[in-house]
Amino acid sequence: MKKGIATLTLSLVLGLALPLNAQAIPLGTMDSSEYPYIGMIYMGGLFGTGVLIAPDVVLTAAHVADDYTPASSYFLTGPDGLSYEDAFAVASSVVHPPHDPFNGAFDFGLLFLEQPVELATYATLWASDPAELLGMPAELVGYGGNWKRRVGTGSIDGLMDGLLFTERLAEGGDSGGGLFVEIDGQNVLAGTLSFVLFGTYAGPVSDARSFIDEYAPNARWFGETAVDEPIAMPEPPALVLLSAGLFASLLTRRRATREDSSSRNR
């Protein structure tokens, strides 16, 4: 991390790097088809985790985005940061304006890639009250430990000072990773991993809605239609189609009858 960061912030980072018990996210690679929009962030020797919320926009923690270094910052895709699939250069970064490095508040940042990452889908974000997620099963995903994409299953145990809390511990390198809940069969990003202190704290992404919408207007929010996604028109019921076909057939028959009658009277 950069020199001059407050002692409290440094302790939070160290807490993230040194789990307090054996309940940390387990090591191991994951199937690339699950969470394909999660990647490892490399910042000139430092690393963290990020989530693609648009083809060229990565959501991460502010204390990760704040370490952006021109010409030596990359977003790496794939299950393993050491043998990554692709590397996308980071063109610039921005940190949530209310972020306070002294207490870790609003720990959100965005990275803007020089080239888009072409995926079939990007992360869907939770837009509603985070209190609605209390007690729900959750998954923490990040690249801590051995630079491998890792996942740990727990539950959202509470809201502490506005942050989502789970007893499942993350590790260094998981910062900026995702806290996901499954709703209607879909993985929804509920929070961004921030720090560890007897458990993992994640900032609710709904708290950063205006910040995210300003820089990533095409980000997808659960239960809402994306601005670039056309509204699908419902398919007409089969009975309506059948009736329309019968009506067209009747018109054709009447027209043929009239033409036949007209030719006889000539």
The residue ranges of every structural domain in the chain are: 7-221
Q: What is the pLDDT of residue 225?
A: 64
Q: What is the pLDDT of residue 26?
A: 81
- The answer for residues whose C-beta is within 8 angstroms of residue 130's C-beta and 6 or more apart is 159, 162, 164, 190, 191, 204, 206, 207
Q: What is the pLDDT of residue 146?
A: 81
| Cα 170 from Cα 17, distance rounded (Å) | 8
Question: ∠ at Cα 168 (74, 147), nearest 5°?
Answer: 25
Topology (CATH level 3) of domain 7-221 = Thrombin, subunit H (2.40.10)
Q: What is the pLDDT of residue 101?
A: 75
- The answer for residues whose C-beta is within 8 angstroms of residue 239's C-beta and 6 or more apart is none
Residue 191 identity: G
E strands of 198-240, at which residues?
200-204, 220-221
Q: Which residues of the chain have a pLDDT value below 70? A: 1-23, 28-32, 103, 225-266
- The answer for residues whose C-beta is within 8 angstroms of residue 36's C-beta and 6 or more apart is 77, 119, 120, 121
Q: What is the pLDDT of residue 24?
A: 80
Distances (CA, A) of 51 to 13, 35, 54, 236, 255: 19, 9, 9, 38, 62
Q: What is the pLDDT of residue 198?
A: 87
Q: What is the pLDDT of residue 238?
A: 40
